[in-house]
């Protein structure tokens, strides 16, 4: 068996269980400072007998297993933007060529994306789901922005040289894909959301694999062997972060597919464990009803 984010699967694909944040743990992840929230998640996983993934550059991105609430997505996107700003400042100090990046456009896109997520959270909380139609468009535009930058980085041959910036845009694409999928699941149900979500997942997988593939054929890419140790370390860290982003998309994909096959609404699926006030992890078996909460620890 393998664990990818919040889903445990057999090697050949079938889902064994999902790791679900109980309502109390979800509240901690959404409201506590990132270090405290991360510590709470690690403790909950340990009590459930589940090993925590290794620490990465963006610890706040670990906050969440199967939950993709707008509040949590807002936190994650803010963390990505802060990290990208740090990377761009460092590149500017080193006077490195970064023509594939557009810092001004980035700032505008991140601002619009954050505002859209915050508005989506309000729309869901107040029952004004019709507002999600317009907000979905903002997420689609932002995804297109990050896709274009990632494609340009590959075209310019800068993905490894500027791995941290490349990884930040890839993770932003993943988080905004999750936000759009949440809009779709609330508006049209999991089956339609699953259809619209798959292209974003494929884009993320493509850009992640484009970073990994040359490292498997170093004889064809000798320039990678000549990178400075710090740059090599950045590539390794980015690879771990992008894997985590991919795992989050796999987790959501399995949930949408499960709900679609068993005709569960997204609200019904998310209600499982929501009333449990303890900060713990629930283990959900792939059964069609809310009784799928198999174990609580």
Mean pLDDT over 274-286 rounds to 91
* Per-residue pLDDT tens digits for 106-163: 999 999 999 999 999 999 999 999 999 999 999 999 999 999 999 999 999 999 999 9
Instruction: Flag whether pLDDT at 66 surpasses 90.
Output: no
Centroid of chain to Cα 235 = 19
CA distance 169 to 63: 19
Coil/strand/helix, residue 227: coil
Asked if 146 contacts 172 with a C-beta cutoff of 8 angstroms, the reply is yes
pLDDT for 38 equals 80
Please state at what angle helix 23-31 crosses helix 34-47, rounded to 10 degrees: 160
pLDDT for 61 equals 53
pLDDT for 102 equals 78
CA distance 284 to 63: 19
Which residue did the predictor score with more confidence, 289 or 146?
A: 146
Instruction: Flag whether pLDDT at 89 surpasses 90.
Output: no
Spans of all domains in the chain: 2-296
Which residue did the predictor score with more confidence, 281 or 65?
A: 281
pLDDT for 58 equals 44
Instruction: Flag whether pLDDT at 96 surpasses 80.
Output: no
Q: Which of 40, 48, 56, 38 is nearest to 17 (CA)?
A: 48
Global pTM reads: 0.89
* Per-residue pLDDT tens digits for 264-278: 999 999 999 999 999
pLDDT for 262 equals 94
pLDDT for 293 equals 44
pLDDT for 91 equals 79
Give 97's pLDDT tier (boundaries 50, 70, 90). low
Query: Which residues fall within 8 angstroms of residue 157, CB to CB, at 6 or more apart?
Result: none
* Per-residue pLDDT tens digits for 180-234: 999 999 999 999 999 999 999 999 999 999 999 999 999 999 999 999 999 999 9
Q: Which of 75, 99, 74, 77 is nearest to 88 (CA)?
A: 99
* Per-residue pLDDT tens digits for 34-65: 778 888 888 888 898 876 554 444 455 555 78
Instruction: Flag whether pLDDT at 76 surpasses 60.
Output: yes
């Amino acid at each position: 068996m393998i664990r990818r984010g919040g889903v445990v699967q057999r090697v050949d694909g079938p889902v064994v269980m999902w790791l679900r944040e109980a309502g109390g743990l979800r509240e901690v992840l959404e409201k506590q400072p990132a270090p405290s929230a991360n510590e709470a998640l690690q403790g909950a996983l340990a009590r459930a007998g589940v090993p925590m993934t290794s620490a990465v550059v963006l610890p706040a991105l670990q906050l969440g297993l199967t939950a993709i609430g707008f509040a949590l997505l807002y936190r994650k996107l803010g963390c990505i933007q802060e990290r990208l700003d740090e990377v761009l400042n460092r590149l500017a100090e080193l006077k490195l060529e970064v023509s594939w990046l557009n810092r001004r456009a980035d700032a505008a896109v991140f601002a619009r994306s954050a505002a859209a997520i915050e508005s989506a959270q309000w729309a869901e909380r107040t029952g004004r789901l019709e507002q999600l139609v317009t907000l979905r468009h903002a997420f689609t535009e932002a995804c297109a922005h990050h896709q274009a930058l990632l494609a340009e980085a590959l075209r310019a041959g800068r993905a490894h040289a500027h791995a941290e910036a490349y990884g930040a845009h890839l993770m932003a694409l993943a988080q905004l894909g999750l936000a759009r999928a949440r809009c779709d699941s609330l508006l049209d149900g999991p089956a339609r959301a699953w259809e619209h979500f798959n292209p974003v997942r494929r884009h993320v997988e493509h850009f992640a694999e484009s970073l990994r593939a040359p490292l498997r054929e170093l004889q064809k890419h000798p320039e990678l062997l000549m990178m400075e140790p710090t740059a090599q370390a950045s590539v390794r860290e980015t690879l771990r972060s992008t894997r985590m982003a991919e795992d989050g998309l796999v987790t959501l994909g399995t949930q949408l597919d499960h709900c679609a096959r068993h005709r569960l609404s997204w609200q019904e699926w998310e209600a499982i464990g929501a009333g449990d006030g303890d900060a713990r992890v629930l283990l959900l078996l792939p059964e069609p009803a809310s009784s799928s909460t198999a174990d609580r620890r």
